[in-house]
Each structure stands twice: as structure tokens, then as C-alpha cells.
Amino acid sequence: MFSLYLSSTSVCCQRSTSCVTLVVVLGCLTVLGIVLAITVLERPSTSKDHDTLPEEDGWGNFSTDHMVLVESIPQYVKYKANVTFGIPLEKAWKDLISVATHQVDVVSFYWTLTGDDISVNSSSDKPGRQILKDLEDLPSRNVSVRLLYSVPSVRTNSTDLKILKEKGVQVRSVNFGRLTRGVMHSKFWIVDRKHVFIGSANMDWRALTQVKELGVVIYNCSSLAKDLHKIFQSYWVMGRSNSTLPQPWPPEYDTVINKEHPLVVKTDNVSGSPPSFCPPSRTQDLEAILSIISDAQRFVDVAVMEYFPSTRFEKPQRYWPVIDDAIRTAAFEKKVKIRLLVSCGRDSDPSMLPFLASLASMDIYIVPVGNQSDIPYSRVNHNKYMVTDKVAYVGTSNWSGDYFLTTAGVGLVISQHAPHPVWKTKALQSQLRAVFDRDWNSEFAVHLADLKHHPDCALS
């Protein structure tokens, strides 16, 4: 059984034994070149072999509350044999489009599904072009499509949304800059009000072939899908030109699914951000993250592209140690083992290094993963997830103050309790930790002390 709830930076919810949390947060995109990993109290042991996630068992059998881990691995990144992988992101997206019969709602920070959108000629954009074509075809199948993107957003030459509008797709932007002084950093899909995707991937061809992403697809969970739809609808309404943030939010945006009352299903729950977009009944993303760290008893493994105990985008920047304090408290007071994988690429902000070095003074190790590419904002570890001995969390936000104060994002909190030891191997929580171990022990991980002048890491 699972209990799940949605958490959001601006919208929140929860309910039961295993939990999925959707977090709505406003933030900005970054990239995968090197992954920095930090561990508290002991260095990781030699990696163990892991089984590959089953591609056939259950895939395509959309039983109630069927949940799968989804990943994209950049081209030419090769791992050793017998390690765990999620279902390919491209396959998951194509599958969701193929099973749609009534409605598809998609939220993405920005849209760049072809190389032309960023003035790049690369054959690796082929999967993105196919996804764009598949979305174009949905209205001809009498499937209603609504798409949301953020203002402000990433500057591109993208014509994706213009093409889709010409095919009958409804498109709306949300000016989070005007509403919260942030951005809409959420990335999720809702299909037929019963299938859900939540993860780190924007609607970008690089997310399919050039950037390391991670997410979760949940099939036939209408309770969770309808709750996430309230978050989508809050964005959609705020996308009107004359919109203003309601105080308080109307009752129709309330939720009975939250940290105190997670949804008990055969899968998971959801949380949100920023606070201004969260009715009191919804669990906020930051609240979900802090609760997960506080409740951990043995270990906390975190993979996030950026880690700053400060704000990043407001001027002047200010110190914001909320999550950092929670990590240090868990490590010092409860002797919880903490491992942190942080991305480091050629576009990473070097000011992150002192914070990571400070954590390293607590016997924390940092690991970069480096890959070279001529494609801008690619070859990055864009994941945003956490796994502990109790729960798994998959979100859309980087870990700095802005993402929880002014930025909109979505997160999924999964608490899974297998009643039989054999089932434990299939638990998403176990799979997510196997993926973390795979990366932590891979040849791409570099200890902070060994970083020095790494050619692919701006922090070195």
C-alpha cells in the first residue's frame, strides 16, 4: 500500500500510508555536466549490482494506481552492467499521449521541442520533434489539450506553442513575475483526469537526449489526478491578463489530501509552492521537504541540480539556511547519514562551492559528473529528488530560497510499505535509492576533495 499527497510552493495537499506529494514552486532552469555528491558521517561502500527495472512487467498494464519511475540518460553516458534504470522518459511521454482519450493538460517552465528553437542543428532532437508531432495530432483525435508555460521564461526562438495553437491546442502563459516576482517552475502532465506525470523534465528535446532527468508516472489514480488538476486550474485562472492572487483562495481549490491526511492508495501523494498559491489545506513543498528530513532515522539521499542556503535571484541576495539547518541537525543530532548529489557543469555558479565545502567539513563528500557538449544547457544532472529510509520525494525545484518563496513547482511524496519482503524489491522507494546508488558509485561521480581543476565543472 502507498500513502501520497501533493505539496506545492504555492499549492499543497496530502492523505495515508505511502505518500506522493506535488510541490508547486517558481524557479529557473539549469544544466547537467558534473554531479557533486555529499555524504555525511561515512563514505559510501563499494557499489552493489542492481536489477534493471522491468520494462515488460506491468508496462502497458495500467492497473489501478500503477506507478513507474521514469528517467532520461544523456546520450553516450554509459553505466556498468546490472544497475537500475527507470523507464525512458520518451517512452513514458509517448505512452501518455497514446492512451489519452479526452483531455491532456501539460505544465512546463518553457517549451523547446526542436533544435531550431535554440538555433542548434542536432539529430538528437528527433525524439522531441516526435513528441511535438504527437501533441499536434491530439485535437484530430478529439482530445482537448491545454498547455501552460511561465512568464518570465527562458529566452528561445521556439515556435512550438504557435504550431500547437494552429492545430487547435489551447495555450496560456502565467505571469508569475507579476504575481509573485518569481516563475512557474512546475513540470507535470494530467491525462484524462486519471494519469499523472511529475518530474524534473521541461518540454525540451534536450530533456530526452542531452539532460539527466527523473520523474514518476502514476496510472489510474483519479483521486491524485483530480487533486493535481486543482493546481493546474489555479495556474490556468491566474493566466488571465487581469488576474490577481485571491486572498483567501476559493473553496474549490481546497484539498483533503495533505501531510496530515495522505491519500491511501496502492501508490503515492502531492505538495506545492509558493505559499501565495497554497490554500491552507495544501501541504507546502518546503514543509514536505523539512518533514521528510526530520522524520528520517537512518539515511537521507538527495539529488538536486543546485544547492544554495540563500536566495539566488532576488536583489540583494539573502541568507536562507532553512533546508541547510535541517540537514545539519539530522546529521549532528540523530547521526543520520546524509548523501547529496549536486550537479556541476560549465554553467554552474561557482558561489555554490563554499556552501558545499562547509557541508564537507562535516565529513560530507561531493561528486561531479562531467560530460562535454556543444549544445547549450545540456549534459547536466537536472534531477530533483530525495529518498530516505521512510519515503521517496520527487520534485521540480532546486534547493535555494527563491524556489520555495516566490517560485511555483510540484513535488510527489511517496511512502510505501510492502507487506511482504519479496515486494520490497519492487517498491519505488527502493528503486529510487538504487538509482541514487548507481550514480553515487559511478565513474561520473567525483569527490569534492578530488575536484581540483576539473575541465567540465565551473566550481573547480
β-pair partners for 307: 399
The reported pLDDT for the residue numbered 241 is 85
How many percent of the chain have pLDDT more than 70? 68
With a CB cutoff of 8 Å and minimum separation 6, the contacts of 167 are 136, 137, 139, 140
Please name the fold of domain 66-450: Endonuclease; Chain A (3.30.870)
Higher-pLDDT residue of 448, 408: 408
With bands split at pLDDT 50, 70 and 90, how would you rate the model's confidence at 373? low
- Coil, helix or strand at residue 273: strand
Task: For residue 41, give the C-alpha cell.
Answer: 558521517
Catalytic residue (choose from 50, 95, 105, 187): 187
How many percent of the chain have pLDDT more than 90? 38
With bands split at pLDDT 50, 70 and 90, how would you rate the model's confidence at 302? very high
Range in 277-281, 310-314, 358-362 with the lowest mean pLDDT: 358-362
Phi-psi region of 183 (alpha: psi -120 to 50; beta: other; left: phi over 0): beta
The reported pLDDT for the residue numbered 101 is 98
Would you say 199 and 213 are in contact if contact means Cβ atoms under 8 Å apart? yes
Neighbours of 351 (CB within 10 A): 12
Distance (Å) of CA 256 to CA 13, 227, 237, 273: 7, 9, 21, 17
Task: Please tell me what DSSP assigns to residue 92.
Answer: H
Catalytic residue (choose from 116, 134, 192, 254): 192
* Euclidean distance between CA atoms 371 and 124, whole angstroms: 16
Among this protein's residues, is 382 annotated catalytic? yes
Mean of per-residue pLDDT scores for the chain: 77
With bands split at pLDDT 50, 70 and 90, how would you rate the model's confidence at 252? confident
Catalytic residue (choose from 65, 117, 125, 185): 185
Catalytic residue (choose from 337, 382, 384, 390): 382
With bands split at pLDDT 50, 70 and 90, how would you rate the model's confidence at 197? very high
Domain boundaries, the chain: 66-450
DSSP H stretches of helix in 77-192:
89-99, 126-137, 160-166, 176-180
* Euclidean distance between CA atoms 450 and 366, whole angstroms: 9
Among this protein's residues, is 266 annotated catalytic? no
Range in 76-80, 265-269, 358-362, 433-437 with the lowest mean pLDDT: 265-269
Task: Tell me whether residue 58 is exposed, middle or buried, using C-beta atoms within 10 angstroms of its C-beta: 0 to 12, 13 to 18, 19 or more.
Answer: middle
Task: Tell me whether residue 449 is exposed, middle or buried, using C-beta atoms within 10 angstroms of its C-beta: 0 to 12, 13 to 18, 19 or more.
Answer: exposed
Across 108-117, average pLDDT: 94
The reported pLDDT for the residue numbered 43 is 29
Residue 19 pLDDT exceeds 50: no
Across 147-171, average pLDDT: 92
The reported pLDDT for the residue numbered 155 is 82
With bands split at pLDDT 50, 70 and 90, how would you rate the model's confidence at 291? very high
Map grid coordinates 512546463 to a residue.
Answer: 108
The reported pLDDT for the residue numbered 409 is 84
